[in-house]
Amino acid sequence: MVNSYFSDCKYLVLVVCCIAILISFLLGQWLHSTTVVLLILQLSIVFVALNYSSRMVYSAAIFEAIAFNFLHTAPRYSLQMFHIADVINLAVFIAVAFCTSELAKRYRTQQSNLKQVQLRNQILLSVSHDLRTPLAGIIGNLSTLKRYYSQLTQQQVTELLDSATVESHRLHHYIENLLHATKLQHGEIQMVKHVESVVDVLTNAMERLGDRRSKVHVTVKIGQTSTLMSTALLEQAIFNVLDNAVIYSFDRQPVEVSVYRTHHHLAIDVFNQCDGFKPEMANQVFNLFYSEKKLKNADSGIGLGLCVAKGIVEAHQGSMHCQAVNGGCLISLTLPCYEQGENE
C-alpha cells in the first residue's frame, strides 16, 4: 500500500531530493565533510529506488550529483571541479546510485514473485478444502438420484435436483471469485464500460440470491443512478456484498440497502445486523482469503467475495469501506456519477 501511494505521487521524488540536498548542505556547512553529504544524498536515492522506476532513480541521482558539484566542490557555486577527489566521490556516488536502482528492481521483482507464489498456494488450499464441500454435495445428490431413482417419489427427485442445482451455483460462484481474484492480483482485469443504472445492476444481483432475495430491503433516494461501468463485473461485486450480508445476518433481520448520491458519486450502503462483528475486523474483511472463524459457517465461502468486490469497485474509480455500526456491519460502495454530456 505504501509503495503504491508513493508511486502515485511523482512530485514526491523532487521533494525528497530537495530535502536531502538542503539537509546535506546544512550538515556540510557545519561538519565540513563531503562524506556526510554524500551519505545523506545516497539515503534519498535508496528511498527513491525502493518506490519508483529506474528512470526516476537515474534522474534523481543526476540531479543530486549536479547539486553536490554546485554546492560542495571547489570552486563553490559553479559546475567546475578542480580536485580529483571530488571527481572520484561524484563518480562513486553515481555508480552506487545506479547499483542501488538495479538491486531495488530485483527486490521488487522477487517480492512480486513471492506474492504470486503465496496467491497460488492460497488458491490451492482453498480449492482442496472449501470447494470440496459443494462438489461433494453435487456428487452425493446425483449419485443418490441415479442409484435409487426408481424408488424415489417425484418430490424426492425434485429435492435432490434442487439441492444439486444450489450446490452447482455455489461452486460456480466460488470459481468466478477465484478467477477474478487471480486477474486482479495480476492486473489483468479488462473492462468494456457502458452507461448503466446502478439500480438495474443491483436488481440483477438480487435475482442471483434466489429465495434469499426476500431478505434484502432496498431504498433508492435519488432518481439519476447511471454510471459508466462494466455491467457483469459490477454485478459480481454487488452480488458478493449482498451474499456476504445475507449469510452473516441474523435469520429474521433484513439486509438494508440504500442507494443515494453524495457530491459527484453514487453510494450504495449495505447494512446487516450480526453477532460478533468487531470494529477491528473492519480493516481485515477485504483481505484475500480472510474469513472470521467465529462467524464462519457452512455457507461462508472461502474469503474471496469482499476482496474481489473491492478490487472491481476500485477498478471503476470507486471506493469501498466497512465499519461496525449499531451491532452490525455496514459496507459502503461509492462510484462516480455519469453526468449527461460527459465523454464516455
3-state DSSP assignment of residue 149: helix
Q: Which residues pair with 330 in a beta bridge?
A: 271, 323
Q: What is the mean pLDDT of residues 92-103?
A: 92
**pLDDT per position as a tens digit, 200-232:** 999 998 988 888 888 999 999 887 778 888 888
3-state DSSP assignment of residue 329: strand
pLDDT value for 5: 43
CA atoms within 13 A on the CB side of 180: 27
Lowest mean pLDDT among 10-24, 312-326, 327-341: 327-341
Q: Which residues fall within 8 angstroms of residue 339, CB to CB, at 6 or more apart?
A: 264
**Mean of pLDDT over the chain:** 82
255-262 β-sheet, strand order: 216-220, 255-262, 265-273, 328-336, 319-325
**pLDDT per position as a tens digit, 26-82:** 988 888 888 889 999 999 999 999 888 888 899 999 999 999 999 988 888 888 888
CA pair distance 43, 31, nearest whole angstrom: 18
pLDDT value for 226: 84
CA pair distance 306, 308, nearest whole angstrom: 5
DSSP H or E segment with residue 197: strand 194-197
Lowest mean pLDDT among 223-232, 253-262, 297-306: 297-306
DSSP H or E segment with residue 232: helix 231-248
CA angle 187–57–90, rounded 5-degree value: 165
CA pair distance 322, 273, nearest whole angstrom: 13
CB 212 within 8 A of CB 246: yes
CA pair distance 295, 269, nearest whole angstrom: 21
pLDDT value for 260: 92
| 101: nearest Cα among 59, 38, 39, 64 | 59
Residue 299, pLDDT > 60, answer: no
Long-range contacts, 278-284 (Cβ 8 Å, 24+): 278/324, 279/323, 279/324, 281/324, 282/321, 282/322, 282/323, 282/324, 282/329, 283/322
